[in-house]
Structure 1
Amino acid sequence: MKLTFLKKLLFVFICSFFGGQVVAQSNHVLWYNQPADYFEESLVLGNGKMGATVFGGVNSDKIELNDITLWSGEPVNATMNPEAYKNLPAIREALQNENYKLANELNKKIQGKNSESYAPLGTMEINSTDKGKTSNYYRELDVSNAISKVSYEIDGVKFTREYFVSAPDQIMVIKLTSSKKGALSYDVNSSSLLRFKTEVKDNLLLMNGVAPIHENPGYQVVPSFLLEKDRGTRFTTLMKIKNTDGTIVSTNNTLGLKNGTEAIIYVSIATSFNGFDKNPATQGLNDKAIALENLNKAFAKSFDKLKQSHIADYQKFYNRVSLDLGKTSAPNLPTDERLLRYSEGKEDKNLEILYFNYGRYLLISSSRTLGVPANLQGLWNPYLNPPWSCNYTMNINLEENYWLAENTNLSEMHLSLLSFIKNLSVTGKTTAQTFYGVNDGWASAHNSDIWAMTNPVGQFGKEDPSWACWPISGAWLSTHIWEHYVFTQDKNYLKKEGYPIMKGAAQFFLGWMVTDKNGNLITSPSTSPENKYIAPDGFIGATMYGGTADLAMIRECFDKTIRASKVLNVDAEFRAKLETALSKFCPYQVGKKGNLQEWYFDWNDEDPRHRHQSQLFGLFPGNHITPLKTPELANAAKKTLEIKGDETTGWSKGWRINLWARLWDGNRAYKMFRELLRYVDPDGKKTEKPRRGGGTYPNLFDAHPPFQIDGNFGGAAAVAEMLVQSDENEIRLLPALPEAWESGSVKGICARGGFEISMEWNDKILKKVSVFSNKGGKTTLISGDKKQDITLKKGQKTEIVW
């Protein structure tokens, strides 16, 4: 069912004839001329809680279902290793004696359990009885209204399906139609990889099941754990058909329609999850009642009313931002072919816009549940053993998911993460005491899950400290609280929720840091996320002291906590402690290669091109390293990036694009952005010359590989970062504009201080800018050599011809 060569030629001809303006490829529609065979070709829908992965098959349409609250496990026992902290003196002594091998081994003694796993809820199938030759197949996802469609013809009869997942009605809706009266016949079934049972009662298909209980050694689910009874999170799926004609038919485990013309399938799901600290079996929500109530309410509404409510709700977020990158001559091709063409170096500005828009679409679709942020795959997971448990990896990946929340005008989506950080601060108090011997504040480590687990992982001493032993994520996460405040100017949130959590993180690090032989404050023990050094004696290890990444993140944590205390005019004494501590921090070091040192000593990395660049945190997402204020450190950061090179995993490319943008090198940022959009074959696809590595799958999912959504979010955030950068005092317009984007416009990008920016540029020069203030305030606009101070009242807008 591929487009013929002549059709493609016709597309190109028409596009050329009209100058690329009439039929140039859309910047908001993904489309294909065949069904998905692989997860990485499917189209995803979501309302921030319920997720649907649509394959769009003809005779059998598979739709994988997820609920963001369906995880293995139950509330974590934060005191799982109550005497772990007693090992710290021996680790620190080994480090003082420069016995890194011993320190590395001892560091394993402060490990705990691994995280739990995000679970696949189930798969529904729509099986059609239509047989015959299929023609004119078309499948799309329109990210401007969050609706997917499939259409095809069999023997002259046109069949269509329309799918959406509604947030206001908490329901999935699928409308099926045929162009010929009575030609629509199909049945629906539901199954799960988890323990489940299905039945049909009163024309209602029910599936009930339960998620497993297990610790997750090495990210593997041991099948025997699936057999545990009366424990775990329950789930319910309900499906019901509304028909205009034809006959509803059923068996013991299927529901269907015979000889219809139009029908609607309603899908409702719910779980018993009732919070990170509530047992989902004994203190859980009534998933059956919730699913049934949502189904009955939605069933009473017409398709058009449900669709109208869904679009209105979704577009109030999506329509805040629009991007135009100028004229394009790219032809109108299916998205997978379009991506292949772009990977060959050809121009497609609307694909670049589509990727940006898709990132915002994915965040709206996967981050609207308080306390349960988007995970490694956002909301969509078909696997019993998902990669890295589909957990919250907090040494970059969880945070990268939210880089676009504030600056692309989706602040409400940030709340899922911010409320999760609040949960971490509860379990993290116990972790600070039992694993690190610090009685003030809270700590969190490398991995977490829906139960707000904060302990260092590693299966109680079985795994490598390079990733298992890292207690610094609280520093990084706390900066998200400040970012939310500084973008929204929501002082009430900062006072009531945000600042106490920031203070708790800072308190832990005051108690955690020690003094080195030079009188400087450092961390000990220390690791640099997932990287390893080569010691002078040839030992390759991870455990060290005074890691640059640790100090960069804690520096940012202390700095933002100080600022928050000043805004609220509280805790002057505590603020003074932080200021004193900051003055004693071990300074950044520039290595012999001109790079920003990652380790306390100028030692080589085991992998010089390692995917993590944690030592550059102060440049991005932090902001205490800048080309203007700290030119030497900015140059060292640049050298570090040059040594690492551009070839890396998908999420790492997303980070590096932002780093190059902060160095105001738009062309290098754009080069990496293009490489992030390099076509990658689906994981299970067998080809003679497989295209692998970090990049983008046919459905625009980020390829680590495998799929990790953080690259989508990091890449979308980077587009905004190339166009607008800001701090509390100034807004830089077009600071990293690449030559490829010589003309364009953007509307609705947010800047720190509570401002929204819209602007136009031509020949790489800013022409016009409008600034809207949500809360009132003053800032300085900067573009090129020009500066302009502005002061606005709440709700006031100013337009400036630059």
Structure 2
Amino acid sequence: MNKLKYILLLILVINQDCVFAQKSILPELPKSGDNLVLQAPIKTWDEAIPLGNGLMGGLLWGENNIIRLSLDRGDLWDERTNGEPEWWKKNTYQKGVDLIKQNKQDVVNNWWNQPYDGVTPTKLPAGRVEIQLPVSEIVKNFELNLSSAEGIARFNSNGIIKVFYSATDPVILLSVKGTIPSSINLLSTMDVFRKNRNGNSGPSSGGTMEKLGYPEAVKGKLNNAQWYIQEAAGGLKYCVYVQSKQIKDETLLAISITSTNDAKDFLSLGRDRCASALDKGYAFVLKSHKKWWEKFWIQSSVSVPDAAVQKQYNLVQYFYGAASRSDAPPMPLQGVWTADNGALPPWKGDYHNDLNTQMTYMAYQESGRFEEGLSYINYLWDRRKVFQDFAKDFYGTGGLACPGTMSYSGQPLGGWGQYSLSPTMSAWSAHLFYMHWMYTADENFLKEKAYPWSSGVGECMLGLLKPDEKGILKLPLSSSPEIFDDSPKAWLQPNSNYDLMCLKMLFLSLSEMATACNKTSEAKKWSDAAIALGDFHTKSDGTLLIDAVNELPESHRHLSNIMGLYPFNLITKEGGEKEDKIIKASLKNWQNKGTSEWCGYTFSWMSCMQARVGDAEEAVRNLDIFVKAFVLRNGFHVNGDQTKSGYSNFTYRPFTLEGNFLASQAVQEMLLQSWSSTPGKINTGIIRLFPATPKKWADVSFTDLRAEGGYKVSASRKNNKTIWFRIAANKAGIVRIKDDFQGEKPKWNTANVQKNGDVYEVKLNKGQALEASF
């Protein structure tokens, strides 16, 4: 009898193990149905098929028998200062403080705003390749194959063009089959300007190429190769090299973009890269390229039952692989897809640190795209000496600070001084170092980069903050992006809630990082500084003000005064009655003000925020509006309502990327959250499965999303109920899971799980996985 019981028990255990094993699936590659397919013609660059390999980017578009491939490279910049060189050393922060106290706002505006009024510094485009086919050829459609990162153009004759930016070789390969090009033309940026001078090829930009005053490109042609060399500014020269080869019925093109950043003889380098690629052939180079992208896609995946949202999510994840690599420049406003209409990019294609860069790099952590996310982290780290000098020369402090608007070199560009020169933009950038550590649990990264860079920002902030008569630490100047624009009213009473939230999150994260580094005295210093900032400014009903006296006056695009809800976890739904009151009153206040002055990114940001506070239906409503009205047909986020449905008074169409990444993060926030309701206290994060999943997403799943603490999490939900999840530990520690299971009790794969209130707890070893089914 005992033997029979043992056998039955063994069978039960084996069956239970099989249940868990069947659920342990690998992330999925994008399905063909999720590919971006656009009907021809595509007549503007900003609706094109986006391609890239981090350093280089391109846009595939065209009509009739003309196919265009716009060219870009992330480190092509004109760094010439507009006006007096190093103006920030003369027109310092303290001088601005003194003049503003004297009501000499116009003088300060001229100092800090004027540098941005010129054409430079600016990101530069790199021209284009135009392929002309026989007039009988008519392009039918364009496609982006997400899984292989190939652009495709199909013709009515069954002719086909394929192109990819190699993920493993610094070259672009383009194949034409089923038809033979009549001509292949390489256009310099000035050629594009002249060609589009009287035409319409996209939205207005930041100025025209001719204003840069460059000499004409030097062009060359030899046999089946053509190239141009453009002399830019500051010693920069770059070369676009195109070489073709006929292989039976295929015309193969190799394209390279080289510059003085690569080698002295950058022309020979481009020639060699193209020749090598042509010798290897399209299929050979594509093989390693596809392997790279397969590795990229299997980091994580999500599956939601809304086709439009799923496509947008996958496309935005693709953007990380196409436009951001750890060893390449990070994405500025338009990534590696600079305007191709003979003009310069909107807002100079710069690095905006009052929202754009931070939100662009807010979605990679949870999807596990750490190599891609390191692009911005490494960029900030490599320029720490530049930022140390800026802190000393402009703010008059130690430590480091990055400008609110800056060029590729880290040069401050100026602009509305309330935001372009706000010191707390650096605190928000430091948050990305903290988040990278939280999600990777990489102790070496913490000690070698995250804490040193972020503590440098902390030292700069402490150098500016001074106690008032009550001992509350205050900045000399304060603002809240981008409320009151650049008017004198934009100087708010220190500290604005925006500044307060950025500073408090910085100091709490520094306390947490210092504790993890066993720097006890430093941890206390940062914790004390966070307390000395005082409380947030609210009305009696809990509504967050913009500073101690001013309420949000009207609808606005930037959720700056409530960012303590998201991306920071300073005010949470688990923070007690007081914080719950603040959340409800503040979101109601924003709702009552309406969306007339919102931009596209506001909707995707609000979606993230509503998900963070647990309002699934509001989260998905805002996300749906974003996907419906604030993306072009190729998925690019644009600032204005393209449907003119009244979602916003803005209906214009300059494109920037941060709204896309916020939308991707909104999906992840609906599926998985892992923040701590007590930031500053180490190892207090809690995993929340499907914390804001709307009812219409009844069946949804995700695989290998990341949670704070270095955990990989997979889960499935059917009929609006969680049916299974798996949590794998990257390091030893205690994992905590919120009981949001609607009264259902999990069946665990271990007996060591304990219940503490509404949180399950279990200690996991490195590499160990916790699984549960219902």
- Alignment TM-score, normalising by the size of structure 2: 0.82
Cα deviation code 1:489-540 (max 9, x no counterpart): 11111211221111100000011112234321121211111212999xxx74
What is the RMSD of the two structures over their aligned residues, measured on CA atoms?
2.9
Cα distance in 1, alignment partners of residues 88 and 155 from structure 2: 59
CA distance 1:564–1:109, shift in 2 (3 Å): same
Cα contact 1:650–1:695 (8 A) shared by 2: no
Cα contact 1:680–1:695 (8 A) shared by 2: yes
Q: Which residue of 2 aligns with 1:450?
A: 408
The amino acid that maps onto 1:66 is: D
Give 1:400-411 correspondences, 5 Å limit. 400-411=359-370
Q: Which residue of 1 aligns with 2:13?
A: none
Query: Does structure 1 residue 193 correspond to structure 2 residue 189?
Result: yes
Cα distance in 1, alignment partners of residues 712 and 656 from structure 2: 30
Cα distance in 1, alignment partners of residues 631 and 721 from structure 2: 38
Cα deviation code 1:569-611 (max 9, x no counterpart): 13x3333322222221131121267421112313453xx1110
Query: Does structure 1 residue 47 correspond to structure 2 residue 3?
Result: no
Question: Relative to structure 2, which stretch is displaced further, 785-794 or 596-605?
Answer: 785-794
The amino acid that maps onto 2:588 is: K
**Cα distance, 1:262 vs. partner?**
1.4
The amino acid that maps onto 2:403 is: A
Cα contact 2:670–2:693 (8 A) shared by 1: yes
The amino acid that maps onto 2:132 is: N
Q: Which residue of 1 aligns with 2:586?
A: 637
Cα distance in 1, alignment partners of residues 427 and 281 from structure 2: 49
Q: Classify the secondary structure of the residue corresponding to 2:308.
A: helix
Q: Classify the secondary structure of the residue corresponding to 2:543.
A: coil
The amino acid that maps onto 1:771 is: I
Q: Which residue of 2 aligns with 1:131?
A: 135
Q: Which residue of 2 aligns with 1:218?
A: none
Cα contact 2:556–2:595 (8 A) shared by 1: no
CA distance 1:594–1:562, shift in 2 (3 Å): closer
Cα distance in 1, alignment partners of residues 497 and 580 from structure 2: 18
The amino acid that maps onto 2:716 is: E
Give 1:346-361 correspondences, 5 Å limit. 349-361=306-318
Query: Does structure 1 residue 315 correspond to structure 2 residue 294?
Result: yes
The amino acid that maps onto 1:81 is: W
Q: Which residue of 2 aligns with 1:302?
A: 281
CA distance 1:302–1:87, shift in 2 (3 Å): closer
CA distance 1:235–1:107, shift in 2 (3 Å): closer
Cα contact 2:465–2:473 (8 A) shared by 1: yes
Query: Does structure 1 residue 60 correspond to structure 2 residue 66?
Result: yes
Cα distance in 2, alignment partners of residues 617 and 148 from structure 1: 38
Q: Which residue of 2 aligns with 1:560?
A: 509
The amino acid that maps onto 1:542 is: W
Cα deviation code 1:428-460 (max 9, x no counterpart): 22222222221x10122320111112x4714xx
CA distance 1:86–1:759, shift in 2 (3 Å): closer
Q: Which residue of 1 aligns with 2:124?
A: 119
Cα contact 1:395–1:529 (8 A) shared by 2: yes
Q: Which residue of 2 aligns with 1:740?
A: 696
Query: Does structure 1 residue 271 correspond to structure 2 residue 263?
Result: no
Question: Relative to structure 2, which stretch is displaced further, 574-583 or 706-715?
Answer: 574-583
Q: Classify the secondary structure of the residue corresponding to 1:359.
A: helix
CA distance 1:109–1:197, shift in 2 (3 Å): closer
Q: Which residue of 2 aligns with 1:461?
A: none
CA distance 1:134–1:93, shift in 2 (3 Å): closer
**Cα distance, 1:753 vs. partner?**
0.6
**Cα distance, 1:127 vs. partner?**
1.0
Query: Does structure 1 residue 621 correspond to structure 2 residue 573?
Result: no
Q: Classify the secondary structure of the residue corresponding to 2:182.
A: strand
Cα contact 2:479–2:490 (8 A) shared by 1: no
Q: Classify the secondary structure of the residue corresponding to 1:53.
A: strand
Q: Which residue of 2 aligns with 1:239?
A: 242
Cα distance in 1, alignment partners of residues 410 and 558 from structure 2: 24
The amino acid that maps onto 1:407 is: E
Cα distance in 2, alignment partners of residues 714 and 696 from structure 1: 20
Question: Relative to structure 2, which stretch is displaced further, 306-315 or 367-376?
Answer: 367-376
Q: Which residue of 2 aligns with 1:210?
A: 231
Give 1:367-382 correspondences, 5 Å limit. 367-368=324-325, 370=327, 372-382=329-339
Query: Does structure 1 residue 81 correspond to structure 2 residue 88?
Result: yes
Q: Classify the secondary structure of the residue corresponding to 1:356.
A: helix
Gaps spanning 5+ residues in structure 1: where? Answer: 1-23, 214-230, 246-260, 275-283, 327-348, 459-463, 684-690
Q: Which residue of 1 aligns with 2:762?
A: 790
Cα contact 1:234–1:271 (8 A) shared by 2: yes
Gaps spanning 5+ residues in structure 2: where? Answer: 1-29, 191-215, 645-649, 676-682, 742-757
CA distance 1:666–1:202, shift in 2 (3 Å): same
Cα deviation code 1:359-378 (max 9, x no counterpart): 00011110115362111111
**Cα distance, 1:545 vs. partner?**
2.2
- Alignment TM-score, normalising by the size of structure 1: 0.79
CA distance 1:407–1:682, shift in 2 (3 Å): closer
**Cα distance, 1:723 vs. partner?**
0.6
**Cα distance, 1:640 vs. partner?**
4.0
Q: Which residue of 2 aligns with 1:5?
A: none
Cα distance in 1, alignment partners of residues 225 and 98 from structure 2: 63
CA distance 1:645–1:663, shift in 2 (3 Å): farther
Give 1:121-520 correspondences, 5 Å limit. 121-128=126-133, 130-132=134-136, 134=138, 137-154=140-157, 158-178=158-178, 183-194=179-190, 195-211=216-232, 213=233, 231-245=234-248, 261-273=249-261, 286-326=265-305, 349-368=306-325, 370=327, 372-383=329-340, 384-438=343-397, 440-453=398-411, 455=412, 457-458=414-415, 464-520=416-472
Question: Relative to structure 2, which stretch is displaced further, 400-409 or 382-391?
Answer: 382-391
Cα distance in 2, alignment partners of residues 474 and 518 from structure 1: 26
**Cα distance, 1:393 vs. partner?**
0.4
Query: Does structure 1 residue 767 correspond to structure 2 residue 739?
Result: no
Cα distance in 2, alignment partners of residues 519 and 112 from structure 1: 37
CA distance 1:783–1:140, shift in 2 (3 Å): farther
Cα deviation code 1:18-70 (max 9, x no counterpart): xxxxxx99552111232311223210100001111000434111110000111
Cα distance in 2, alignment partners of residues 320 and 425 from structure 1: 30
The amino acid that maps onto 2:599 is: T
Cα contact 1:649–1:695 (8 A) shared by 2: no
Cα distance in 2, alignment partners of residues 111 and 41 from structure 1: 32
CA distance 1:307–1:610, shift in 2 (3 Å): same
**Cα distance, 1:389 vs. partner?**
0.5
Q: Classify the secondary structure of the residue corresponding to 1:664.
A: coil
Q: Which residue of 2 aligns with 1:693?
A: 640
Cα contact 1:743–1:762 (8 A) shared by 2: yes
Cα contact 1:113–1:457 (8 A) shared by 2: yes
Cα contact 2:57–2:71 (8 A) shared by 1: yes
Cα deviation code 1:111-150 (max 9, x no counterpart): 784372111111110111x233748x23211212211212
Cα contact 1:171–1:268 (8 A) shared by 2: yes
Q: Classify the secondary structure of the residue corresponding to 1:300.
A: helix
Cα distance in 2, alignment partners of residues 201 and 680 from structure 1: 46
Cα deviation code 1:470-490 (max 9, x no counterpart): 222110111111111111111
**Cα distance, 1:774 vs. partner?**
2.3
Cα contact 2:467–2:473 (8 A) shared by 1: yes
